[in-house]
Chains A and B, each alone.
Chain A
Amino acid sequence: MTLKTILTGAVMALGLTAAGAQAQDDTTKVGFIYVGPIGDGGWTYEHDQGRLAVEEHFGDQVETVYQESVPEGADAQRAITQMALNGADLIFTTSFGFMDPTLAVAKKFPNVKFEHATGYKTAPNVSTYSARFYEGRAIQGHIAGKMTKSNIVGYIASYPIPEVIRGINAAFIHARKVNPDVEFKIIWAYTWFDPAKEADAATALIEQGADVILQHTDSTAPQAAAEKAGDVVTFGQASDMAEYKPFPRVSSIIDDWKPYYIARTQAVIDGTWTSQQVWDGIGPGMVGIGEITEAVPADVRDEALALKEAIASGEYHPFTGPLKKQDGSDWLADGETADDGTLLGMDFYVEGLNAEIPQ
């Protein structure tokens, strides 16, 4: 303890309530582990925007550190440990593959708080948080179903995990609703971020006749491929990807982590942080819908915005019955909505999708 911290502690103990005793240090250190480069223009970019928002909000009270392009696996464990050793009070690990490494490090540093994005394992000092991206997918699906002329929608998927499968189902259900002839062609890229692979996938889909492309990967390469093709519609993923407005990018799903990161940092400062599992959507503002451009006809835009309002207010759930699974078995009865447990572990397609989940 430096003299400064002792003095700060003394002042707090004298002048304030006992809560001051929680503060060991006058600045709170918040760390971020990123799976991609901060310049990816998508997933990691938005997490880094959240980090910058924390810095701006708290000023000198908080110091942030980050490490980018951390491979998922043994290297992640070292990166997280290093942050904890260097005195981080709160660490956000922002990719699914950091789950086990996060838990392993958390065991060794019981006084450090951890927040793992998109995972399902928690501990007394590990929370999980994720966004209901599927709500945005429903709106995308609606627009895609209306915009396609070839009735072929291409989908660049990353990994066959529940989050991605959920997105495909949500988009497909709402595309079919407005266009019974629509078909989805899905390519699995097995990466979150690889511009070359994503561009290849987009080109392959376009060659197979897709004139709308949805992506669950983080780079803007598919947007560039669509721009080159000329008449293919795309949507921004994770980030607004506004540089491709108004066409090919006609709308986007934006992850907005800023309010959450600020709230959790505040909780650590206040000493009120507890382990929790958060799954927020459009309503609380964790999922944003980027501007729907003039390339989309006005009536379609109005319908999409109405859908967004209905989802945000909780009036409509994107997975509302009657819905059947791909194999024809019943899933949701008329008016029934999916429970979170099923959604979190989703490993099946809904009826009508003409594809197979890789096994």
Chain B
Amino acid sequence: MKLQLEKRPQPSRRWIYLSPLLAVVITMLVGGALFAALGKNPVEAIATIFWEPLFGEFAFYYRPQLLVKGAPLILIAIGLSLGFRAGIWNIGAEGQYIIGALSGAGVALAFYPLDAWFVFPLMALAGALGGWAWGMIPAVLKLRFGTNEILVSLMLVYVAEQLLAAMALGPMKNPDGMGFPGSRNLQDYPAAHNADLITGSGLHWGVVAALVAVIAAYILLGRHMLGYQIRLSGEAPRAARFAGVKPGLLTLFCLGTSGALAGLAGMFEVSGPAGQVSIDFNVGYGFTAIIVAFLGRLHPVGIALAGLLMALTYIGGEIAQGNLGLPAAAIQMFQGMLLFFLLAVDVLTNYRLRLLRRPEAA
């Protein structure tokens, strides 16, 4: 007997939905084996990661934290998914996230300590614009000079990181901070603070924005002409051109939108959970969002679920570290496995696994 992969005439609809679930299950099994090899009880470790944050003793604190951690991932991933569907690869969401945060915080610090209702909306606008502008750089370079947007957007992440450090050490440094780097804490500036809408719920404006983005993307892709063009460009570029899709405009739209959403996410983070512009402000949401986008099958609802799942592994992973003494690196491996197995299992979407009997006399 031997196994053979047989190409399906059409991608299997069933496996499109089943493969993420199977990937999660395999991750649990292999992850469990990894934890066992580290001398921990694998069942307890897995249960801690997936159960504790939702239903454990301190779930009242962790459930809101899922929203706090998941919202930026979802917001960024929704933007990325539009481009990914059309075959436009924005890998630099991390940079757009930073610039959005800097723009938003810049507005807040410029108005400090003015207590006016318009400060926060202006910050949101600036955040979106900042991210949009940073996303426009690879878009315009691609259109004008044919550069590769993957490389340009990725390189701009490092530029943005340098800019962040320069801002935290220079113009945005807290004048009352005794020379230490980092801006004023926006949590102490009510007009600019992206606080919980209901105290302790974790529900800040970024969560609302993520929800709106999910719904908007759902409508755009399912009901709108532009959404149809995006899908067509990714699936059949030649046909798209005949159907009158302008690839240049689509590039501008996709990179601009994903940049703006990443910028918004950065702005909500800097004015809320993080509170200040600091050298280490960015913690990789822009890159993790790429995993979230694919884990969610580039589908808005899938992305929302994938974002929450990713947040769960983060928070559950931290609890497992604290309670069971699992090393941080083991948790990171566990998260990496999730994408790894998803990509592996994806084979089943396009291929059928067949069991061939060996011919009798060969």
Give the interface of A toward B (CB within 8 A): 37, 65-69, 71-75, 77-79, 81-83, 85-86, 96-97, 100, 104, 120, 159-162, 190, 344-347, 358-359
Q: Is the CB of B185 within 8 A of A100?
A: yes
From 313 to 333 in chain B, residues with beta carbon under 8 angstroms from any chain A beta carbon are 315, 318-319, 321-323, 325, 327-329
Q: Please list 27 pairs of residues, one from A and one from B, whose beta carbons are closer than 8 Å in the complex, sorted by A's number.
A: A37-B327, A65-B322, A65-B323, A66-B322, A67-B322, A69-B329, A71-B283, A73-B280, A78-B318, A82-B61, A82-B319, A86-B58, A100-B275, A100-B276, A159-B181, A159-B279, A161-B179, A161-B180, A161-B181, A162-B178, A162-B179, A190-B279, A345-B178, A358-B165, A359-B166, A359-B169, A359-B170
Complex contacts, A100 vs chain B, CB 8 Å = 185, 275-276
Select B61's contact among A66, A81, A97, A162, beta carbons within 8 Å: A81
Q: Which residues of B contact A161 (CB under 8 A)?
A: 179-181
The answer to whether A78 touches B280, judged by C-beta atoms less than 8 angstroms apart, is no
Q: Are A82 and B278 neighbours in the complex by a CB distance under 8 Å?
A: no
B65 and A72 form a contact (CB under 8 A): no
Whether A344 lies near B276 (C-beta < 8 A) is: no
Contact-residue size bin, chain B (C-beta under 8 Å from the other chain):
20 to 34
Report Cα–Cα, A104/B187, bound state, in Å. 10
A73 contacts B283, CB within 8 Å?
A: yes
Q: How far is the CB of B336 from chain A (nearest CB, A)?
A: 15
Q: Is B327's CB under 8 angstroms from A85's CB?
A: no
Q: Are B322 and A82 closer than 8 Å at their CB atoms?
A: yes
A83 to B61, CA, bound (A): 12
Q: A37-B328, A73-B281, A359-B170 are in contact. List 17 more A-B contacts (CB 8 A).
A: A65-B325, A66-B322, A67-B322, A68-B321, A73-B273, A74-B283, A75-B318, A82-B58, A86-B322, A100-B275, A159-B279, A161-B179, A161-B181, A190-B165, A345-B179, A347-B179, A359-B166
Q: Evaluate contact between A74 and B180: CB separation under 8 angstroms.
A: no
Q: How far is the CB of A86 from chain B (nearest CB, A)?
A: 7
- B46 at interface by CB-CB < 8 Å: no
| A96-B283 contact given A65-B322, A78-B65, A81-B61, CB 8 Å threshold | no
Interchain nearest-CB distance for A97 vs B (Å): 6
What B residues does A72 contact at CB under 8 A?
Answer: 278, 280
**Interface membership of chain B positions 176-205, coded 1 if the CB is closer than 8 angstroms to chain A and 0 otherwise:** 001111000101000000000000000000
Judge whether B274 and A74 touch: CB under 8 Å. Answer: yes
Are the C-beta atoms of A79 and B318 separated by less than 8 Å? yes
Taken together as a complex, chains A and B put the C-alpha atoms of A358 and B170 apart, in Å, by: 8
Residues of B near A104 (CB, < 8 A) are 187
Q: Does B68 contact A (CB under 8 A)?
A: yes
Whether a CB of chain A sits under 8 angstroms from the CB of B269 is yes
A73 with B274: CB separation less than 8 A: yes
Q: Taking the nearest CB of chain A, how far is it from the CB of B10, in angstroms?
A: 43
Q: How far is the CA of A187 from the CA of B180 in the complex (A)?
A: 18
**Residues of B in contact with A (beta carbons under 8 Å apart):** 58, 61, 65, 68, 165-166, 169-170, 178-181, 185, 187, 269, 273-276, 278-281, 283, 315, 318-319, 321-323, 325, 327-329
Cα of A96 to Cα of B178 in the assembled complex, Å: 13
Output the nearest chain A residue to B187 by Cβ-Cβ distance. Answer: A104
Most buried by B among A67, A78, A120, A344: A78
A72-B280, A97-B278, A359-B170 known; A67 vs B318 contact (CB < 8 Å):
yes
A82 proximity list for chain B (CB < 8 A): 58, 61, 318-319, 322
Closest residue to B331 on the A side, CB-wise? Answer: A69
Determine whether the beta carbon of B58 is less than 8 Å from that of A85: yes
Residues of B within 8 A of A68 (CB): 321, 327-328
Contacts of A83 in B (CB 8 A): 322
Q: CA A81 – CA B328 in complex, angstroms? A: 18
For the complex, give the distance between the alpha carbons of A68 and B325 in Å.
10
Q: What chain B residues lie within 8 Å of A160 (beta carbons)?
A: 169, 181
Q: Which residues of A contact B68 (CB under 8 A)?
A: 74
Cβ-closest 6 pairs across A and B = A74-B273, A347-B179, A69-B328, A345-B178, A359-B170, A74-B274
The interface residues of chain A lying within 8 Å CB-to-CB of B273 are 73-74, 77
| Distance in angstroms between the alpha carbons of A74 and B58 in the assembled complex | 18
In the complex, which residues of chain A have a beta carbon less than 8 angstroms from the beta carbon of B179?
A: 161-162, 345-347
Q: Which B residues touch A190, using CB under 8 A?
A: 165, 279
Which residues on A sit within 8 Å (CB–CB) of B321?
A: 67-68
What CA separation (Å) do A161 and B169 show in the bound complex? 9
- Assess whether B328 is in contact with A78, with CB atoms less than 8 Å apart: no
Inter-chain contacts of B327 with A (CB < 8 A): 37, 68
User: With the chains together, A161 CA to B315 CA distance in Å?
Assistant: 31
Q: In the complex, what residue of chain A is closest to B161 when comparing beta carbons?
A: A190
A69 to B322, CA, bound (A): 12
A79 near B322 (CB under 8 angstroms)? yes
Q: Is the CB of A73 within 8 A of B279?
A: no
> Of A37, A81, A344, A358, which is within 8 A of B169 by CB?
A358
Q: What's the nearest-Cβ distance from chain B to residue A204, in Å?
A: 17
Do B280 and A71 touch (CB < 8 A)? yes
Residues in chain A near residue B322, CB distance under 8 A? 65-67, 79, 82-83, 86
Expressed in whole angstroms, the Cα–Cα distance for A96 and B280 within the complex equals: 12
Q: How far, in Å, is B271 (CB) from chain A's closest CB? A: 11
